[in-house]
Chain A
Amino acid sequence: MDRPIGPAAGRTTSGGPVASGGPAGQPDAAAGPAASWDGLLRELAPRVLGVVLRRYRDFDRTEDAVQEALLAAALQWPAEGVPRNPHGWLVTVATRRLTDQWRSEAARRDREVNAAALDPATRSSAGTSSTSAPAADAALDGPHGPFTGSDGARAGSTTTAEAVDDTLTLLLLCCHEALSPASQVALTLRAVAGLTTAQIASAFLVPEATMTRRITRAKRSIAEAGARFGPPPDGDYGARMQAALHTLYLIFNEGYTATSGDELHRAELTREAIRLTRQVHRLLPADGEVAGLLALMLLTEARRPARTTADGELVPLAEQDRSRWDGAQLREGIDLITATLPRALIGPYQLQAAIAAVHAEAARAEDTDWPQIVALYQLLERRAPNPMVTLSHAVAVAEVRGPRAGLELIAVLDDDDRIAGHHRLTAVRAHLLELAGDTTAARAAYLLAAQQTTSRPEQRYLRGRAARLAE
């Protein structure tokens, strides 16, 4: 399943411009000591990594060193207070870890090979930083890589633009085509979002050792592909950007499917996805698809309070208590997509956000502007045809022209390998059959879909629907 919501519809009404003063443009409160520890450290993580990578280039080890610095800060700061320059502190500690590691490796090599095989990079840096106090910014002096747009000495007070720039550069690196989508997601969460391996493992319900391996392997793959910290090669930018947006979308989706209170780490993923997408949007405000993705996330996340009951049962869109939707998120999402559509090159994320906005604007399910949603799905099918879109399109068509018209639309999907036998297709068929009054067939289809899904809440929901028809 690849979409959190039925892609929703576009907005063509005019709204306030989404300028940097609007909610969408608010800075994410970079480094205030008042921010929660996690929040502060996550915000700093990619900026610290960016600075250290400019000097040392070794992505695998530098990323490990920054993680260790973040862990050290999480232990030390609550007890001793936040250093005056938290960013500089982290850079210094990470650099020291790196140089210590190089030294001990060099010493081992010396012992093993009985030859001084110090790497020039190690030699030049070893003297400067590893003895300096963590609070000092001494580690910020030194050789810089070719991508140094900024002066390393200013790193402790990097501007927002530079910080976000590093975040984007890292994001594009983590979404290198040599990695599988799952690896891109894991690496992005660690290197860009600053989550610990334990947190990522917990979000994906796998042992920490498994996640460690996945991340290590991802970093190796990047190194083997010869990729470096810096802008991707010219020809790769578009594809890499697309992969990055998809990765953010997957992170969001993973979090959005979480239904119960004990999955805190998983639910947190939606917040992280929104935070990162917001940063990318701030850097590339003219990119309509980035704005569209952010709007889509906000409009979807706004429904979270209404999408499950207290005991974790799924509530379909039509039956959600709309007064529980998050009004502030809805408004931000609507304003953003409204301002974006007229001026940007239209793309699938914008269209999905637009559809979500049409749903958001209906005070009651029966007030939904279905003809507009149908029109938007037609656009989406033309721009990004895929069976999931066809399914949602069919549901909208059924609302406008009746359930039989919807059933006709999905008939072709039985021959489509990408979705034939998928529980979503069966569930939509069940829904349309129910609307058409064919109770027996609808019930059978709900039960079949319940067998096909691998989600327990979905299975409960589908069985519940079938049971209701049996009464």
Chain B
Amino acid sequence: MKYMLLIYSSPATWDALTQAERDELERLHSELYYELVRSGEWVDGNALADPARSVGVRVRDGVRVTTDGPYVEVKEHLAGYDVVDCESLDRALEIAARIPDAAICGVEVRPIMDVGGMEM
């Protein structure tokens, strides 16, 4: 079963960290990454650029309208994601809890929809 682990961050908590603390978070996250690669559970994952780099796109009546900046202004923004393929939701939650940002802001675990299905 595949899950997307959405990693949230808030400038308020992130800015309060020292550089050494941030380095430690990076280190823990890459440690987790290597562990997931080795176990064959890692599928994909990336860090996202600052929300200031976001461009919103809307198409209305066939016309494309773009807006600089995040889609909605919120205190917490999506800072990155990991996609894992693991045995159970419990295991996905265990992995999510090991993402260092879970201890600072939060991580959301969402199942990824399957393209196959069973008739009812």
Chain A residues packing against B (C-beta within 8 Å): 1, 4, 180-183, 204-207, 209-217, 254, 256-260, 263, 266, 307-308, 314-317, 320, 424, 427-428, 431, 453-459, 461-462
Contacts and interface: CB of A to CB of B under 8 A. Distances in A.
A391 to B, nearest CB: 10
Contact of B38 (A206, A217, A256, A316): A217
A295 B42 CA distance: 36
Contacts, number: 91
Contact of B119 (A183, A314, A454): A314
B40 A458 contact: no
Q: Is the interface of A mostly helix, strand, loop or mixed?
A: helix
A247 B115 CA distance: 21
Given A180-B87, A210-B85, A214-B40, A257 B116 contact: yes
A263 B115 contact: yes
B79 to A, nearest CB: 23
Interface stretch (B7-15, B53-61, B64-72, B106-114): B106-114
Contacts of A259: 115-117
A-B CB proximity, top 10 nearest = A214-B40, A257-B116, A457-B117, A455-B117, A213-B40, A458-B117, A454-B111, A314-B119, A455-B114, A456-B113
Given A259-B115, A317-B119, A211 B40 contact: yes
Given A217-B40, A454-B1, A431 B120 contact: yes
Interface residues of B, number: 22
A454 B85 CA distance: 14
8 contacts: A4-B118, A206-B43, A213-B38, A217-B40, A257-B114, A455-B117, A457-B115, A458-B120
B24 interface: no
B82 to A, nearest CB: 12
A462 B113 CA distance: 15
B44 interface: yes
A455 B118 contact: yes
B1 A207 contact: no
B39 interface: yes
B116 A263 contact: yes
Contacts of A256: 118
Nearest to A320: B119
A213 to B, nearest CB: 4
Given A210-B43, A213-B40, A307 B119 contact: yes
B37 interface: yes
A210 B84 CA distance: 10
B6 to A, nearest CB: 16
A458 B119 CA distance: 7
A257 B111 contact: no
A456 B114 CA distance: 6
A461 B119 CA distance: 9
